Structure 1
Amino acid sequence: MKNRLKVLRAERDWSQAELGGRLGVSRQAVNAIETGKHDPSLPLAFKIARLFELRIEEIFDDGDHDGRA
């Protein structure tokens, strides 16, 4: 799944380790999500969205665009 996590993290000048600490996950987990090797669980996706004050859809893109809202 594509995502904007790396960009959002960089905008705040946070390291992967710092973001991981804020989310309660490892630096490796953050790296795996940023690179698309791992999709976050739904609770973690909500936690990420709350941290960045965005909707999940504004961070993660599953590529499923069928034109419906």
Structure 2
Amino acid sequence: MRRLVGRNFARVRQERGLTQEKVAEISGFSQQYISGLERGHRNPTVVTLFELAQAIGVAPIELLTSD
């Protein structure tokens, strides 16, 4: 699940032309946290998923579903 969320987050972030640094600025999470999330090393809470999804402009479910 961590890898799925990380892959989805990275894909959407890149599709929207956002850098990890910009998402960090918008969301309040560190760039290191976002990097770890995208690599599947972080296990985000439901609240964190919601906040990160808002930062990149998607519904949280989009980070949880496989293609």
Q: TM-score range by the shorter chain?
A: 0.7 to 0.9
Higher helix share: 2
State the structure with more CA Rg: 1
TM-score, normalization by structure 1: 0.74
* Higher RCO by CA contacts (8 Å cutoff, separation 6 or greater): 2
Question: Can you give the 5+ residue segments of structure 2 that lack an aligned partner in the other structure?
Answer: none
Q: What's the % identity of the aligned pairs?
A: 21
How many residues align structurally? 61
| Per-residue CA distance 1:8-29 (angstroms, 9 max, x = gap) | 1101111111111111011100
Distance 2:9 2:23 in 1: 10
Higher strand share: 1
Question: Can you give the 5+ residue segments of structure 1 that lack an aligned partner in the other structure?
Answer: 64-69
